[in-house]
Amino acid sequence: MTARFLIEGGRVLDASQSLDAVTDVLIANGRVAEIGPALRARVPSEGLRVIDARGLWVLPGLVDIHVHLREPGREDDETLATGTLAAAMGGVTTVLSMPNTLPPVDTGEKVRWIHERAKATAHVRVQVAGAVSVAQAGEALAPLTDMNDQGAVAFTDDGRPVATAQLMRQCLETAQALGTRIIEHCEDLSLTNGGCMNEGPAAVSRGLKGIPNTSESVLASRDIEILRRTKGKIHLAHISTAETILLLKRAKEDGLDVTGEVCPHHFTLADEDIPDQDANWKMNPPLRSRDDVEALREAIADGIVDVIATDHAPHSPDKKQKPFAQAPFGIIGLETLVPLSLALVRAGLLTPLRWAHLVTHGPAVTLGLKTAGSLRVGMPADVTVVDPALERRPATFASKSHNSPFMGRNLQGHAVMTMVGGGIVMEQGVLVGRPVL
C-alpha cells in the first residue's frame, strides 16, 4: 500500500489554482488527496507520516523543459539515471529530454527507447522532445506523428536551429495538427560564425571571437514571421538578448502563440564576469551584456517570460578543461535552478507565487502537460518542499558532470524534499528511493 503523507504548516504555492497560503497537504494513494488547514485533526493517524513544513515552501514538483540527458551515446557526460538524480536533488520532478543525443531521437522507436530506459533507471519523470529533422541534419522533416504516437510532447533541433525557413514552415504545420509545440534554438549560424562568447568589449579584451545579439534575434524574427502565416505554437528557448524579448513581446501582442524561456545563468551573470579562459562559463547562447541581463530580469518581472528552464548541458571535465575557444558549449543547471531563480524573489522582481508559476505551472502549460505543475486534488503527488533561507556552497553535484560557474558559490534557497507520485525521492539532500514510473 502506498504511504500517506501529511505535509503540515508549509506555505503552499500552487499557481495553477492561485493558491498562496499557509496550510496542509494530504497525500494518499500517490495523489494529492486534500489541501486545507488543520488536517491532522480529521485525518486518521494510522500509517500517516507527518512532515513538518513550518517555515518552508510547498509547491508542485518543478518542471524543467530544457534538459540534456546525453543518453544514448554520451554516457561519459550524463545518463538518464544521473541527470534525473540531479533533477531530484534540485527539486525537479519532470524533465523534458532534448533529442540531440547520439544518435538523435528522431523516430517513434527512439522515443519509446527513452521512455523505457527512463522507466528502468530514472529518478524523476522524463518527457521526451523529438527531433524536427532526420538525424537533426536540417534537411528532411522527421516523422513527427510517429514520435508523437510514442509520447513525444514537443519537437526541436535544439543544439542547432531549425535549419531553414521552409523546414520551420513544414514542422509547424505538422506539429499544429498534432497540437504540439516547436521549441526553437534561435541562432543564425552565419552570424555566430565561429564565435565563442558574447560580442562586445569583454570578448575583445579576452581576445575571443564574439557572437552578436543578432545571431539570436534574426532567427527569432524569421520564425515569428513564419508563424504569422502557418499558425501553430513556437517556444523560444534560452532567450538571452533584449532584442529577442522585444520580438516575443510584440508577437504576443499580435496574438501569436509564442512562449519564451529564460535560463538562470542568463539573468544572473554577464559576459564581463567570465574569468579568463574558464570554459565552465561557456554556453550557447553566451552570457550577454549587463544591459541584456537587466532586460531579461525586467521581462521576467513584467510577465513576458513564460518559463524558467535550465538548459542543463553536462560535459565531462576533460572537455571543459580545454581553453575557452575550444571547449564545448553548455553548463549544468538542475541543482542550481531553485537558488538562482529564488534570487529574483529576494530582489523584489517576483512574488513567491509568480516564481512558483515560472518553474512549475508555466512550463507544464507550455508543453500541454496535464498531470504536472499543479497540486489540485487528484493530481499525481509530485511535490517539492523548498527551504528559502537555506544556504549552501555546492562543492560537488549529483550530475555526472560538474561544469557549472556556480560551483563553490554561496547559494540561498534549496529543495529539501522531492516527492514523485507520492513517494519521497530526495530528503535533506539525500537520495531516498526511486519512484515507480
Distance CA 77, CA 432 (A): 24
Q: From 5-13, 118-126, 150-158, 428-436, give the range in contact with Zn ion by CB under 5 A.
A: 150-158
CA-to-CA dists, residue 388 to 57, 342, 347, angstroms: 7, 8, 13
Burial of 407 by CB count in 10 Å (0-12 exposed, 13-18 middle, 19+ buried)?
middle
For Zn ion, give the closer residue by CB, 283 or 356. Answer: 283
Q: Is 387 a catalytic residue?
A: no
Distance CA 95, CA 286 (A): 23
Q: Which of residues 180-219 bind Zn ion (CB under 5 A)?
A: 185
State in angstroms the smallest separation of the CB of 310 from Zn ion. 11
Torsion of CA 336, 214, 282, 397, to 10 degrees: 20
Contact call for residue 235 and Zn ion (CB under 5 A): no
- Residue that is written with C-alpha cell 527513452 in the block: 114
Q: Which of residues 339-358 bind Zn ion (CB under 5 A)?
A: none
State in angstroms the smallest separation of the CB of 159 from Zn ion. 6
For Zn ion, give the closer residue by CB, 78 or 158. Answer: 158
Let me know: does 384 contact 62? Beta carbons within 8 Å: yes
Looking only at Cα atoms, what is the longest distance across the chain? 68
Q: From 53-61, 177-185, 198-206, 255-263, give the range in contact with Zn ion by CB under 5 A.
A: 177-185
Q: Which of residues 11-70 bind Zn ion (CB under 5 A)?
A: none
Q: Which residue is nearest to Zn ion (CB)?
A: 185
Annotated catalytic residue within 14, 157, 188, 311: 311
State in angstroms the smallest separation of the CB of 62 from Zn ion. 20
Binding mask 250-279 for Zn ion (x = CB under 5 A): ------------------------------
Considering only residues 14, 24, 78, 158, which one is a binding residue for Zn ion as defined by CB under 5 A? Answer: 158
Let me know: does 241 contact 292? Beta carbons within 8 Å: yes
**At what angle are helices 337-346 and 290-301 packed, to 10 degrees?**
80
**At what angle are helices 290-301 and 242-253 packed, to 10 degrees?**
30
For Zn ion, give the closer residue by CB, 99 or 143. Answer: 99
Catalytic residues: 311
Where on the chain is the footprint of Zn ion (CB under 5 A)? 158, 185
